Amino acid sequence: MAQPKSQQRILHRKMRRYEVVQLWVTRLVVWAVIVLVFIPIWSVVTASLQTGDVFYTTGFWPDPSRLTLDNYRQLFAVTRFPIWVRNTVLVGISVGLLQVLITGISAYAFSRLRFWGRTQGIRFLMILQMLPSFVSLAAIQYGLFKFNMANLIGITAVYTGASAYNIWLVKGYMDGLPRELDEAARVDGATEWQVFVKIILPLSRPILAVIFLFQFMTVYGEFTLSSAILRAPNDLMLAQGLRTFVLNNFATNWGKFSAAVIVASIPLAIIWAFAQKYVESGLTRGAVKG
């Protein structure tokens, strides 16, 4: 279909001088930011491929005579790195799935149901969420040690605690879904649970994928809570394990530490590559009521 002549003139309009300057300035800024982000990543990669415990080199390129894969071999053969990754992934997936279930049900109640305290309830949860997490750290630690739950199961239960921000985010997404779908399902005899499971839940997959991803990332990089609770060597999570490489009294294993950081970042990179479209659609649609 041919475009109108007015649109063709707009598309073929020559850019003004200030527009060209603005375009190139924007490009230079973007490339400068990319370089600044790339430099520390390159430093970690080069440190993971060199012998010894150095973290940096005198030049931008690594010394070819010192290139080695020993840090990666020792990472899997000598250290407990596979156990740390396994624990972190299992806890992250468990917390993500449980949070999706709890958040989805809670958000549906605040979005679709009418009950006393509905409006003030979500505000009260948001106020509680504003309190720093370390305020309750002592109470959480005491409770878990008291009931012998200072392990992966206990820390999973703590992470699974309902997040007010997640409920508010999913509620905003569900508010944008047409209510005519609910009414049509109820006319056909569907119960409230059937409306949630068969209609609202499938339509909310993008925002629920966002919740799962955010919870998984939170567990993947969390250190404070896990270091206060987990004590058994086989229960340590990734952030705790990485810290052991830099706690040596005589030397810091920067080579193994850098190799562990590179390997640990691969699962997150893969997850982000596949979940990017869900993150974009979930967050943008949840911000606008349709």
Distance CA 111, CA 176 (A): 10
Task: Report, as an integer, the average pLDDT of 236-241.
Answer: 88
For 62: left if phi > 0, alpha if psi spans -120 to 50, otherwise beta; the answer is: beta
Q: What is the pLDDT of residue 32?
A: 93
Task: Please indicate, yes or no, whether the overall pTM of this predicted structure exceeds 0.75.
Answer: yes
What phi and psi values does residue 116 have, to the nearest 5 degrees? -70, 135
**pLDDT at position 289:** 47
Q: Is residue 50 scored above 90 in pLDDT?
A: no
- Give residue-wise pLDDT tens across range 110-161: 888 887 777 777 777 777 777 766 777 888 888 888 888 889 999 998 888 7
**Residue 285 confidence class, pLDDT cut points 50, 70, 90:** low
- The number of beta carbons lying within 10 Å of the beta carbon of residue 15 is 10
Beta strands per DSSP E along 141-287: none
Per-residue pLDDT, averaged over 45-68, amounts to 70
Quote the mean pLDDT of the chain. Answer: 80
Contacts for 32 with CB less than 8 Å, ≥ 6 apart: none
The reported pLDDT for the residue numbered 12 is 56
Q: What integer pLDDT is reported at residue 9 of this predicted model?
A: 52
**What is the gyration radius of the CA atoms in the chain, in angstroms?**
25
How far apart (Å, rounded) are the C-alpha atoms in residues 164 and 126? Answer: 5
**CA pair distance 60, 76, nearest whole angstrom:** 28
Quick one: pLDDT at residue 52?
64
State pLDDT tens for residues 66-88.
778 888 888 888 888 999 999 99
Torsion over CA of 85, 89, 91 and 93, rounded to 10 degrees? 180
For the segment 170-205, what is each residue's pLDDT rounded down to a tens digit? 888 888 888 888 888 888 888 888 888 888 888 888
